[in-house]
Amino acid sequence: MSENNGYNLHQNARLSCAPMMDWTDRHCRYLHRLMSRHTLLYTEMVTAPALVRGGALHLLQFNSEEHPVALQLGGADPAELAKAARLGQDAGYDEINLNVGCPSDRVQSGTFGAVLMKTPALVAECCAAMRAAVDVEVTVKCRIGVDDQVPQDVLPEFLSQVSAAGISRFAVHARKAWLKGLSPKENRDIPPLDYERVKRLKQQFPDLHIGINGGVKDLDTALDLLSAGLDSVMVGRAAYQDPWMLSQVDARLFGATDQAPQQTRHEVIEAFLPYVDEQRSAGVPLHAMTRHILGLFNSQPGARLWRRYISENAPNKTAGVEVLRQALAFVSVEDVTGTDATKAG
């Protein structure tokens, strides 16, 4: 059982928000934490070379309110990843995750990400080096295979080798990644989902924590996957595009009996305003934060006006919290926590 910085991460990972490039930055994570106390949050991928060679330590910046929060690293050099993992631990992250799932061109050119599915021995070496460098848990996010690999052959062997290096928790994207011929965006949709393959993987490795990722659009689906024997579910685009789904997570997936942090979407924005004001004072552009809240009122009366007003006014250099206060006038106040939150699109 993993207990890092006072958090039981194997429990928090029951529902997590996936690392998503250009999306899950610190402003996004702060917003998500306003709706769920227990969900495990992940950073965007940060490359080990950027930290170790480039000294880009600003990429590790986060807010204390985000805990429990995990840092995802990209890399393929064991020594460099070990140094980057240590920097992540020193910055205060609760978990270090190795990216073995991203099919981005940026990732392939650096010989890391999903292409590492082809070299499980190297992944094991990287993980062993990272584990030796830090006290927090090291985990792996991977695919079921890449290109012409046969998942039922390569995936068990991948887990066998990497778990032998001490990794006990995996998040498996239930799609193959096609490294040639498909764009990163197409790789999120075109390769078919194979949830059954990941379920069988859990049966093969009952002592490992096996989480699933890919195409999970609502909490009902997440609960079904957990009921099927999987240990955790990682949601991505659904939680970003319709973040209000997170307001139901603590009660439905973690069994929390206390009230959600914020009871309405309006309360979420009111709780977000002091943070926005503080960040604006520090020079952060308003649109860097408001881009994450555009989907908060999805399916609600006035949602289109909410999005339009923010999109048109937030980019102004002098724009501040008044833009959000004015945008709130376009959407009605809910009487109770939205029951539609379980159906994220």
Any idea which residues carry the catalytic annotation?
102
Query: For residue 181, what are its two tokens?
Result: 């011929």
- For residues 316 and 324, what is the distance between their CA atoms, to the nearest angstrom? 13
- For residues 120 and 37, what is the distance between their CA atoms, to the nearest angstrom? 35
The H or E element spanning position 69 is: strand 69-74
Helices (H), the chain: 9-12, 26-33, 48-52, 78-91, 105-109, 120-133, 151-163, 184-187, 195-204, 219-227, 237-241, 249-253, 265-281, 286-290, 303-313, 321-328
Q: Which 8-state DSSP code applies to residue 283?
A: T
- For residues 11 and 254, what is the distance between their CA atoms, to the nearest angstrom? 8
The answer to whether residues 73 and 47 touch, using CB atoms and an 8 Å cutoff, is yes
Q: Distances in Å between the alpha carbon of 124 and those of 28, 64, 135, 256?
A: 31, 31, 17, 36
Query: For residue 254, what are its two tokens?
Result: 């973690």
Q: Distances in Å between the alpha carbon of 207 and those of 123, 163, 164, 192, 231?
A: 20, 10, 12, 27, 11
**Angle between helix 78-91 and 120-133 (nearest 10):** 40
- For residues 224 and 203, what is the distance between their CA atoms, to the nearest angstrom? 16
193: nearest Cα among 254, 132, 236: 236
- For residues 29 and 182, what is the distance between their CA atoms, to the nearest angstrom? 29
